[in-house]
Structure 1
Amino acid sequence: MVLSNDSRDELAREEESSPSHSLLSKNNSKIKIPNDSFNLAYLIYFTLGAGFLLPWNAFITAVDYFDYLYPDASVDRVFAVVYMLVCLACLLVIVPFAHRSDASVRINAGLALFILSLLVVPVMDVVYIKGRTGLYSGYYVTVASVGLSGVADALVQGGIIGSAGELSGRYMQAVVAGTAASGVLVSVLRIVTKAIFAQDAHGLRRSANLYFSVSIVFMAICIVFYNIADRLPVIKYYKDLKIQAVNEDKIEEGSLTGSLLKKTLWDIVGTVKWYGFGIVLIYMVTLSIFPGYITEDVHSEILKDWYPILLIAGYNVFDLVGKSLTAIYILESSKVAVGACVARLLFYPLFLVCLHGPKFFRTEIPVTVLTCLLGLTNGYFTSVLMIKAPKTVQIQHAQTAGIVIVVFLVIGLAVGSVVAWFWVI
């Protein structure tokens, strides 16, 4: 969703009072920000946001195929734990060196690794699995490819969100909305393939191969788009601001080395910690419920195996709605946003009632409403906190702040993926 003029003005007013803007405004007050012609930069960042979550969505949406091949494995939850923990470990390595490494190298390398990890499933299907069940050596290779995709996610997501943090808030909104769009895209593919293809071995293979093929093509498009972005005047403008700020720092304080670098990093973490706390709570709650609870713990006699597919689609659509709402209105108070993240803990008892409560609460309507609310609140408050966090630091530190927020996000995902094993017992 492209930002309206009113929303752009609101973001601009907010950024004028932020450290990243005020640091440089005195030297750049006469420089006009270039127009984003045809909203091309916005669309590129939207596409990149969709891109770095598409591989994960492809793996998790092909769950019917993997459940058919490996009936004794808890595929959803194993994939989630492996993906998130690998991604988190890699991000913790990246953060201290973010200022000294080239974001474009990390992002291009990550996109290439995404393509490699996505190729594993269709290639293995053709040359080894061939629709046969119980070949658990293939399962272990698939889990390894999920882990490789987690490495790629750390490189790409950290780089893209870090880069967006250096730009106007509308580009962070584009990235965050794009992440939700990837879920909607895969859900649409899942519904179409289930409607068209028979739910037998052949049909499940065709469906899974379609998800991975579309994702591979999308990754190739992301590589092209990303390498175009830096040539756009509006992106060059913000990059020049960062270079100027870095040069000013070098003059005033010298290069960041040793204890000064460590102090700066911890200062950044301290500045964004409450935003990070909110993000951790958001994704701890969300991933401990979605998708494991949705796909394994609730059932419908009416919708049968369509039930989890429609619930996942509903979640993804409302996640996109929530992340797009910040293009219209952004909550001003960060304290209220973090408080709302704490309030989302109420989803635990509410969903628990849908498992063990009165008969009405175990029907399709309450579960569907709660799932959509889970997606809506996940999307909106994620977008608010992600847009605001990098603006609390100076522009030369915005990329590091963005990556730190991604670390908090993945911590929430990792904790949620572990909690998902236990909370419904």
Structure 2
Amino acid sequence: MTAANAPQDRYNAVWIIFFILGLGTLLPWNFFMTATMYFTQRLKDPQTNGEHNQTANGTVVIEGDNRNVLESKFNNVMTLCAMVPLLIFTCLNSFIHQRIPQKLRISGSLSVIFVVFLITAVLVKVEMEPLPFFAFTMIKIICINSFGAILQGSLFGLAGMLPASYTTPIMSGQGLAGTFAAFSMICALASGSALQDSAFGYFITACVVILLAIVSYLALPKMEFFQYYSESSGSRSSADEENKMDLLKPDNRHLRVLQGEWNESGMKYNRIYVQLKSDMCSLFSVQPGKDSIWLPVLVIARLVFVPLFMLCNVQPRHYLPVVFAHDAWYIIFMILFSFSNGYLASLCMCFGPKKVSQHEAETAGAIMAFFLSLGLAVGAALSFSFRAMI
């Protein structure tokens, strides 16, 4: 069986499933971070909560900063409890993925995260002392990010066995997760909902999305398109592997194959339909290509955003001048920064597994997921130094 005879992804079902799995990977954690104000509010000391002074004319004056140690350290400890397990378990996943079945890693991780968020939703209605609540919240953060790291690495490894374009729906789903969480927070603030009610809504929504991701993943093995590529990853001959990898080469014949024009079987799709179903990676996969020097050059060129953001109107500042005073500059830089991040990261995650042999594609995807997490951790650590330079 050749690549030209591969079954079609009917109704883009496999693409949609990977999109849902990408959404289910990050949406729960994004909702958890969105509810930060709810967590810090639960950490207030009962005796100091609402403490105020009253002047002679009856005016109420609230004390300056009544935050206790748990409140003030919550964000720092949360970041530590999130990033360290994320790095450790993403690294471990690149080694254990050959020893632990894929189904157990993905469905098991989703199930654990679902239970954690279900407990979190229940605890919204349960009163707890600040210290036990703080400790239990950090344990939940460690669990979410540990199993989330295994889930994310396993998904990228799984997508590495399919055509390059099936890595992008994972990243697209993750991108939508951040957007949806931010939009939900705006709606909650606009409606004037109480912090507990908003948080409960976040956590219940996360549970629904995780359940949808579990159901979608269980339906994935039944797809003929997925069966073909998952079975071929271990049984296809080297010649067939090379034919599949050559789909990304920038020559006219394979470009037509990429766009859906199959000369061998006589099947041809309308160009408009292909563009609607295609994602950014498949549309631009030959500009730059997987072997092009332009991809690493463009990635390195994104370092220019560091000084650009530092020269925006960030206050307070002590050393650097403000070059871009108007907020419009910051918005423009952020749009370019976000677009280039999504585009170049998608290309890297798409092309990476295709640079190795077919049977090593899953391992390559898992390792790339580790370095993606490592980059986020290093960036978060360096942000303190850059802030001090301003």
TM-score, normalised via structure 1 length: 0.69
Q: Which moved more, 1:402-411 or 1:95-104?
A: 95-104
Q: Relative to 1, partners in 2 of residues 1:392 and 1:360: Cα closer, same or farther, differing over 3 Å?
A: closer
Q: Determine if contact 1:165/1:387 at 8 Å carries over to the other structure.
A: yes
Match of 2:214 among 212, 220, 223: 223
Q: Determine if contact 1:60/1:79 at 8 Å carries over to the other structure.
A: no
Please tell me the residue identity of whatever aligns with 2:84: L
Q: Determine if contact 1:114/1:149 at 8 Å carries over to the other structure.
A: yes
Residues of 1 paired with 2:279 and 2:135: CA distance?
Answer: 38
Shift of 1:329: 1.7
Residues of 2 paired with 1:174 and 1:204: CA distance?
Answer: 32
Q: What residue in structure 1 maps to residue 177 of structure 2?
A: 182
Q: What residue in structure 1 maps to residue 363 of structure 2?
A: 400
Q: What residue in structure 1 maps to residue 150 of structure 2?
A: 155
Please tell me the residue identity of whatever aligns with 1:95: S
Q: What residue in structure 1 maps to residue 309 of structure 2?
A: 351
- Is 2:206 the partner of 1:243? no
Identical amino acids, percent of aligned pairs: 26
Q: What residue in structure 2 maps to residue 314 of structure 1?
A: none
Residues of 2 paired with 1:40 and 1:117: CA distance?
Answer: 29
Q: Determine if contact 1:80/1:417 at 8 Å carries over to the other structure.
A: no
- Is 2:189 the partner of 1:194? yes
Q: Determine if contact 1:65/1:208 at 8 Å carries over to the other structure.
A: yes
Structure (1/2) with the larger helix percentage? 1
- Is 2:50 the partner of 1:51? no
Shift of 1:54: 1.1
Shift of 1:101: 2.2
SS at 2:293's partner residue? helix
Q: Determine if contact 2:165/2:279 at 8 Å carries over to the other structure.
A: no
Shift of 1:91: 2.3
Q: What residue in structure 2 maps to residue 379 of structure 1?
A: 342
Q: Determine if contact 2:311/2:322 at 8 Å carries over to the other structure.
A: no
Q: Which moved more, 1:109-118 or 1:415-424?
A: 415-424
Which 5+ residue runs of structure 1 have no aligned equivalent? 1-27, 250-322
The 4+ residue runs of structure 1 with deviation greater than 4 A are 74-77, 357-360
SS at 1:167's partner residue? coil
Q: What residue in structure 2 maps to residue 417 of structure 1?
A: 380
Q: Relative to 1, partners in 2 of residues 1:325 and 1:239: Cα closer, same or farther, differing over 3 Å?
A: closer
- Is 2:289 the partner of 1:326? no
Q: Determine if contact 2:281/2:350 at 8 Å carries over to the other structure.
A: no
Q: Relative to 1, partners in 2 of residues 1:411 and 1:125: Cα closer, same or farther, differing over 3 Å?
A: same
Q: Relative to 1, partners in 2 of residues 1:65 and 1:412: Cα closer, same or farther, differing over 3 Å?
A: same
SS at 1:126's partner residue? coil
Shift of 1:164: 0.4
- Is 2:38 the partner of 1:65? yes
TM-score, normalised via structure 2 length: 0.75
Q: What residue in structure 1 maps to residue 5 of structure 2?
A: 32
Shift of 1:324: 5.1
Shift of 1:31: 6.2
Match of 1:170 among 165, 169, 172: 165
- Is 2:224 the partner of 1:233? yes
Number of aligned pairs? Answer: 315
Please tell me the residue identity of whatever aligns with 2:114: I
Q: Determine if contact 1:81/1:414 at 8 Å carries over to the other structure.
A: no
Please tell me the residue identity of whatever aligns with 1:56: W
Please, what is the CA RMSD of the aligned residues?
2.3
Q: What residue in structure 1 maps to residue 90 of structure 2?
A: 91
Shift of 1:231: 0.8
Match of 2:295 among 337, 341, 363: 337
Please tell me the residue identity of whatever aligns with 1:223: I
Which 5+ residue runs of structure 2 have no aligned equivalent? 44-66, 239-277
